Amino acid sequence: MLLNLKWLPAGVLAAALFVLPAAANPLRFPTRVFYSTAEEDVNLQPLFAWWSTNLNVTATLQGTNPPLTSAQLASLLPSRPLDRWLRITATNFAILGDGWVMAARLEDYPGHATNCAIFLKHPPGRDRVDFLWVQANAVQISLEISNAQAQVQSSAADAEASRLRAQNFSTPGFLLTGDLATTAADLNHVANEDFKYFKETQRTLASLQATQSAIDAFMAEFAGEPFYKLDFFALATGFTNGVLPVFDLGELKR
């Protein structure tokens, strides 16, 4: 069901804020943790599966004029699990105590939504911090990868040159003594150190590339958005904080 706005206190902005475009993927963190007398896990996987399966079907149904109501969609679609969990999207937040106040778009069925000012418990602060960190560091990491690639090429050339110098100095079948033996040992030592540095630059590059891959995968969840967009399923608690309806994300189990 869509959030019933009739129980909202007078003065709450409920229907005419602004329509937000949806972010890339709300189907993250299927396990949410709540605490009452004991820890309780809520599994959202059945809802995620239902949402994915019916996404295109609902889009087709919503093409009618006028659009279908929640009741009509409910009669045409398979039973929706966890109907108190709504998809919320928002881009503007204000911290209030241990939660966020926001102008949110609330979806009960894909594409079927209303707009409402809400209070969100357990807001995804870490998710937002990760996004801001990626934004702030993505260019620098890309630059470091380019530098690391150049270092790998340069160190590979140095290691090969050192190896050839050491190899050419020691003629096979001849025993070197005195200063010649010392020089040969030094050249071999340099060759070994250059090779070790080459392997180190390879490890550094691999680590940076792994970080870049993780960044790309993370940012893909936001469809390349230039600003953080909250897009999660949250529980409509049925309570207010005295003014706004309270939604609860639960703790995201990673």
Going residue by residue through the chain, which has 254 residues, state the pLDDT in tens, using 9 for 90 and above: 333 333 333 333 333 222 333 344 899 899 999 987 667 899 999 999 999 998 888 877 777 777 788 888 888 889 999 999 999 999 888 999 989 999 999 999 988 899 999 999 999 998 888 888 888 888 888 899 999 999 999 999 999 998 888 888 766 555 555 666 777 788 888 889 999 999 999 999 999 998 888 888 877 777 667 788 899 999 999 999 999 999 999 999 87
Q: For residue 175, what pLDDT is reported?
A: 54
Q: Which two structure tokens, joined as six digits, stand for 54?
A: 């019916």
Q: For residue 116, what pLDDT is reported?
A: 93
Whether residue 66 has a cis bond before it, omega within 30° of 0? yes
Round to whole Å and give the CA distance between 123 and 32. Answer: 12
Q: For residue 217, what pLDDT is reported?
A: 80
Measured from the Cβ of residue 82, the count of other Cβ atoms closer than 10 Å reads 16
- Burial code (b: 16+ CB inside 10 Å, e: under 16) for 107-144 equals bbbbbbbbbbbbbbbbbbeebeebbeebeeeeeeeeeb
Which amino acid type is present at position 61? L
CB 184 within 8 A of CB 165: no
Q: For residue 16, what pLDDT is reported?
A: 26
Q: For residue 10, what pLDDT is reported?
A: 34
Round to whole Å and give the CA distance between 27 and 51. Answer: 9
CB 23 within 8 A of CB 223: yes
Q: For residue 7, what pLDDT is reported?
A: 32
Q: For residue 183, what pLDDT is reported?
A: 77
Q: For residue 211, what pLDDT is reported?
A: 85
Q: For the whole model, what pTM was predicted?
A: 0.68
* Residue 244 exposed, middle or buried by CB count within 10 Å (0-12, 13-18, 19+): buried
Which among 85, 90, 87 has a CA at the least distance from the CA of 18? 90
Q: Which two structure tokens, joined as six digits, stand for 104?
A: 């949110």
Helices (H), 79-177: 125-169
Cβ-based neighbours of 61, under 8 Å, separated by 6 or more: 68, 73, 76, 77
Phi, psi of 9 (to 5 degrees): -60, 155
Please compute Rg for the chain using Cα positions. 29
CB 42 within 8 A of CB 31: yes
SS3 180: helix
Round to whole Å and give the CA distance between 225 and 61. Answer: 28
Round to whole Å and give the CA distance between 249 and 34. Answer: 9
